[in-house]
Amino acid sequence: MRYWLMKSEPSDVSIDDLASFPNQTVDWYGVRNYQARNFMRDQMQVGDGVLFYHSNCDEPGIAGIAEVSRLAYPDRTQFIEGHKYFDPKATQESPRWFNVDVKLVRKTRLLSLKELRDTPELANLRILQKGNRLSITPVDPRDWEIILDKLK
């Protein structure tokens, strides 16, 4: 089992949106970074833990716990002409972008970016590294446990 931190802008999909979706599940569409895509396509497995992170908002931070509920498959938005995630180089026969499905486990209190930064034991958490802009990052099992303890 692996653990991941996955960023979502709450103006697009928030933890409350996820809670209201059918089966409390969302396809993690719109990732257009090859490294993040490769994490989903090549490494994520059903049951992997996900820290659902609100980004690009007034108070960024971890807003809930989720899990990968479906293995990677082609991101439908790459084929929709006029969509902001349309990719003219992608074809049904040779898709470029993939996503997984993510299912809510539970909404949590907001564990803010500031609180993450103020926790010395999390100093190696990838989201806290200077220059990190990836929307999906692996989380060390030790860091996962520290974060879960903080969310109790």
Question: Which one, of 73, 8, 28, 68, lies nearest residue 44 by Cα?
Answer: 68
Give the whole-angstrom CA distance, residue 45 versus residue 85: 24
Domains and CATH numbers, the chain: 3-142 (3.10.590.10)
Give per-residue pLDDT as tens, 66-75.
Answer: 999 999 999 9
- Starting at the earlier edge strand, list the strands of the sheet with 3-8: 25-27, 98-112, 61-74, 49-54, 3-8, 136-139
Please provide the DSSP assignment of 54-121 as one string. Answer: E-SSSS-EEEEEEEEEEEEEE-GGGGSTTSTT--TT--SSS---EEEEEEEEEEEEEEEHHHHHT-GG
| Residue 61, beta-bridge partner list | 54, 112
Give per-residue pLDDT as tens, 20-63.
Answer: 999 999 999 999 999 999 999 999 999 999 999 999 999 999 99
Give per-residue pLDDT as tens, 57-98.
Answer: 999 999 999 999 999 999 999 999 999 999 999 999 999 999
